[in-house]
Structure 1
Amino acid sequence: MNQKEIYKNDLLVLPKWESYLLQSSGLPGPRANLTLLYVAAELGNEEIFRSFLDFQVEDDHHGDSPDEFIVMCGVVGLGKLLAQGKEEYWVQLKRYASDSRWRIRESVAMALQIYGEYNMERLLSEMAIWSVERLLEQRAAVAAICEPKLLKDARYGEKLFIILNQTTSSLLIEDNRKEDGFLVLKKALAYCWSVAIAAYPDQGKNAFQPWLNYENKDIRWVLKENLTKNRLQKMDSIWVERCKDKIGVK
């Protein structure tokens, strides 16, 4: 019996999950227990998720409180509810995308990916809307869709790169480059492009290459970070080196 099965068996016999989740959350610590989080999302229902979202969390600016894990489980559970046709939860999930707590924002991307496995076309359509809104919502959009397991169908490439181009353009127009939303969007774009290009090489190269002509330092940083990713080296090392030469990166 693997750890996932152990968690399932434990939760299924418990009338209330909160104490178990708190004890096994992995927090405080560098990594929350994502295996348990996904099990809770798989087994939970609307009533459980709503109670998790209302769970009282003690103030913790570092995101290390075990209490926060309960809310994470509730947020990820929203992805399951969306997949069940409960459309009203798009609004709530979008609100969590701009939450001040970074672990909650990560949970939004996880929730969206759960939905994406159910309906990727609809996810891309929704993320196209998010991609022109607030920076943290843009970050959630690209983090959600740039996931290898979701990028198996060639039909998704065009919409994917429209969203990546749109969110990358935001780096050019934002005045406050020290604002949290700007920084986390930039960090997401620093790997998301490479994931998307590796999934759809021809479309990806065509979308990426025009950005090589921009002198903007934030754009250049995003390009450089993506070009250092092993997934692109494995895909086409010659193309990668040409791109590096174009922007003066060794």
Structure 2
Amino acid sequence: MKNAFVSGNEINIELAEEFARVGTVMDFKRFIRIDYTDAPEGSEKSFLTYCGILGLGKYLSKYYDKGLLIQLRERANDPRLPIRQAVVKALQYIGRQKSHRLVDYIADWKNGTPLEQRACIAAVCSPELLKDRKSILEALELLEWVTVTFVGDVDWNKDYEVLQEEVAQCWAIVVVANPEKGKQVMERWMKEDHLLVDVMMKKSLLNNSMQVLEGEWVNKWLQNLTTQ
């Protein structure tokens, strides 16, 4: 497909979003079924899958469809990074129109695979969706739920590594959105003295936005975590 990529294997997001706006639901359903075995990352067919996912996100932002949400959840586990990124964008479409309903739509994802957990927190903790106290509290509740994953016995693999990075990023985003409440909750976790949790908290504290906004608080807790 002409112009599917803007540089090398980089998806032409603008073109994909335009297709998601004007395409049909039947197109989206057909494209999302194109598997990675038939459309490896960087192929034109994979671009169609990307478009299909964004299109379903646009559709689900207006109409509830359990079956389509299940298909999105399946694609959250896709081995192709751009496809997993498309799932997050699709969820963000839903959140822009129905921010509080998005949490209900993906309530089961938080109990799923590391990549499903990653997709749901990446969407719910998007800065653009954290515009009111309710959204921030919902994001914190979800983030705590997923953080608990690392307190149990984790059969570590690369998917957990991806999730760990996202959890750290999301804690920074939520604290920046509401420092008073965010810091209060994050401090409870930093007192847990758990190795995997400490790693995530340190990564979050080293986030540039956190250091700019809460430099003194960040330095204090970095020192505490280092000496624990």
Q: TM-score, length-normalised on structure 2? A: 0.90
Q: Is the 8 A contact 2:129 2:135 kept in 1?
A: no
Q: In the superposition, relative to structure 1, how do residues 210 and 137 fare at CA in structure 2: closer, same or farther (>3 Å)?
A: same
- For 1:156, the equivalent position in structure 2 comes to 135
- CA distance in 1 between counterparts of 2:153 and 2:78 reads 20
Instruction: Tell me how far 1:138 sits from its aligned partner.
Output: 0.7
- For 2:213, the equivalent position in structure 1 comes to 235
- For 1:91, the equivalent position in structure 2 comes to 70
- CA distance in 2 between counterparts of 1:54 and 1:132 reads 24
Q: Return the match for 1:244 from 218, 222, 225.
A: 222
- For 2:98, the equivalent position in structure 1 comes to 119
Structure 1: runs of 5 or more not aligned: 1-18
Q: Is the 8 A contact 2:31 2:51 kept in 1?
A: yes
- CA distance in 2 between counterparts of 1:64 and 1:218 reads 34
Q: In the superposition, relative to structure 1, how do residues 56 and 196 fare at CA in structure 2: closer, same or farther (>3 Å)?
A: closer
- For 2:161, the equivalent position in structure 1 comes to 183
Determine whether 1:206 maps to 2:184.
yes
- For 1:6, the equivalent position in structure 2 comes to none
Instruction: Tell me how far 1:56 sits from its aligned partner.
Output: 6.7
Report the structure number with the largest CA radius of gyration: 1
Q: Is the 8 A contact 2:39 2:45 kept in 1?
A: no
Determine whether 1:194 maps to 2:181.
no
Larger mean Cα displacement after TM superposition, 94-103 or 187-196: 94-103
1:79-122 CA distances to partner (integer Å, 9 max, x unpaired)? Answer: 11111214231111111112232221111111000000010101
- CA distance in 2 between counterparts of 1:127 and 1:202 reads 27
Letter paired with 1:66: E
Please show how residues 1-250 of structure 1 align to structure 2 within 5 Å: 19-20=1-2, 23-26=3-6, 28-29=8-9, 31-55=10-34, 63-88=41-66, 89-177=68-156, 179-248=157-226
Q: TM-score, length-normalised on structure 1? A: 0.82
- CA distance in 2 between counterparts of 1:65 and 1:87 reads 29
Letter paired with 1:39: E
Specify the SS of the correspondent of 1:183: helix
Specify the SS of the correspondent of 2:149: helix
Compute the RMSD of aligned alpha carbons.
2.1
Letter paired with 1:133: G
Structure 2: runs of 5 or more not aligned: none
Q: Is the 8 A contact 2:53 2:90 kept in 1?
A: yes
Aligned-pair identity (%): 28
Q: Is the 8 A contact 1:136 1:181 kept in 2?
A: yes
Instruction: Tell me how far 1:245 sits from its aligned partner.
Output: 1.5
- CA distance in 1 between counterparts of 2:153 and 2:18 reads 39
Q: Is the 8 A contact 1:80 1:115 kept in 2?
A: yes
Q: In the superposition, relative to structure 1, how do residues 189 and 180 fare at CA in structure 2: closer, same or farther (>3 Å)?
A: same
Q: Is the 8 A contact 1:49 1:78 kept in 2?
A: yes
Instruction: Tell me how far 1:132 sits from its aligned partner.
Output: 2.1
1:21-65 CA distances to partner (integer Å, 9 max, x unpaired)? Answer: xx3323643x3222222222222221221232244766576x232
- For 1:4, the equivalent position in structure 2 comes to none
Instruction: Tell me how far 1:208 sits from its aligned partner.
Output: 0.6
Letter paired with 1:183: E
- CA distance in 1 between counterparts of 2:22 and 2:186 reads 40
Q: Is the 8 A contact 1:131 1:138 kept in 2?
A: yes
